[in-house]
Amino acid sequence: MWYLQSIMIDYHLHGNFSGHGSGELFEYVEAALAKGFVEIGFSDHLPKVVDPDPYHAMLEDALPRYVETVLSLRERYRGRVAIKLGIEADYFAGHEDATRALLAKYPFDYVLGALHYLGDWHFTSKQGLARYADEDPAAAFPLYFEQLVRMIDSGLFDVLAHPDALRRGAFRPVASLEAEYRSVARLLAGRGMAIEVNTGGVRRGCGGPYPDREFLAACVAEGVPVTLGSDAHSPRDVGRDYDAAYRLLGDLGVAEVAVYERRGRSTRPLALRLDKA
Ligand SMILES: [Zn+2]
Ligand SMILES: [Zn+2]
């Protein structure tokens, strides 16, 4: 008798180091253990190199304590769940050197690269939600993909986080983005970056995980590796809506996930056939 054992990783966990997250980091670990995760990674927000503010991202003086906390949890839970030291970094065009210098100070296992801003529109924030009604998707999506290209090209990041988080409710591309998807996929492959399947999209009303299925399919076709994350900002959201992610990955024939150590990548099977005892 054989059964399938899922290799569950959650590489996108936040916590109370940033003002908009809640829960001590150990509570996320306990939640992950309860759900059977074998490997998790914290990826709270890197201090912003532009307009720092403690609500959206921890301030720079909190970063050493974040790193120490994750590393001590890694020791405390060794043998029960693997804990990686990750970080989610904003991309601010023109501030690449400051971002690189900050990232180089700590022994991160991986760096998620994320866009949360389009010009002065912080579209992932609570205040940013109100602006969706006034924005034009015909202009916003091409601009978003332009920024994405610059971000990937910067070489600062290992994984593209919540790849098309601009989608929300009815705010969707009005024209095909097939060409954009393909060029981003090629760029990711060229840069050796992975793409994240982020189940936060389900909670945020996107009708499924990020990215859009067509976008992910373009990445898979280019051989771009995939990581998985829930974008949990509270312990109860660890590993949430993973059924949707597994369905999407299964449909696209993805059988492996990427994992990281000291910014080096390896792959693990998404599911293992184990002998039933
Ligand atoms: Zn956040
Ligand atoms: Zn994010």
Domain ranges of the chain: 2-275
Calculate how far, in angstroms, residue 44's C-alpha sits from the geometric centre of ligand 1. Answer: 7
Predicted confidence (pLDDT) per residue in 159-187, tens digit: 999 999 999 888 999 999 999 999 999 99
Please name the amino acid found at residue 41. Answer: G
Does residue 102 carry a pLDDT above 80?
A: yes
pLDDT at 254: 95
Rounded to an integer, the average pLDDT of 107-127 is 94
247: which strand partners? Answer: none
Rounded to an integer, the average pLDDT of 270-275 is 66
Q: Which CATH superfamily groups domain 2-275? A: Metal-dependent hydrolases (3.20.20.140)
Calculate how far, in angstroms, residue 270's C-alpha sits from the geometric centre of ligand 1. Answer: 26
Does residue 1 carry a pLDDT above 70?
A: no
Calculate how far, in angstroms, residue 274's C-alpha sits from the geometric centre of ligand 1. Answer: 36
* Nearest ligand atom owner, CA of 14: 1
Token pair in block for residue 60: 């720079």
Calculate how far, in angstroms, residue 270's C-alpha sits from the geometric centre of ligand 2. Answer: 24
pLDDT at 170: 86
Dihedrals phi, psi of 202, to nearest 5 degrees: -65, -45
Average pLDDT, the chain: 94
Calculate how far, in angstroms, residue 117's C-alpha sits from the geometric centre of ligand 1. Answer: 13
Confidence of residue 126 (pLDDT cuts 50, 70, 90): confident
pLDDT at 2: 56
At a CB cut-off of 8 Å and minimum separation 6, what does 76 contact?
Answer: 26
Rounded to 5°, angle at Cα 226 from 166 and 70: 85
* Nearest ligand atom owner, CA of 18: 1
Calculate how far, in angstroms, residue 24's C-alpha sits from the geometric centre of ligand 2. Answer: 19
pLDDT at 7: 77
* Nearest ligand atom owner, CA of 113: 2
Q: How far is CA 152 from CA 88, 99, 189, 192, in A?
A: 14, 14, 10, 10
Calculate how far, in angstroms, residue 3's C-alpha sits from the geometric centre of ligand 1. Answer: 36
pLDDT at 105: 98
Cα–Cα nearest to 71, from 25, 35, 112 = 25
pLDDT at 274: 59
SS3 category, 10? strand
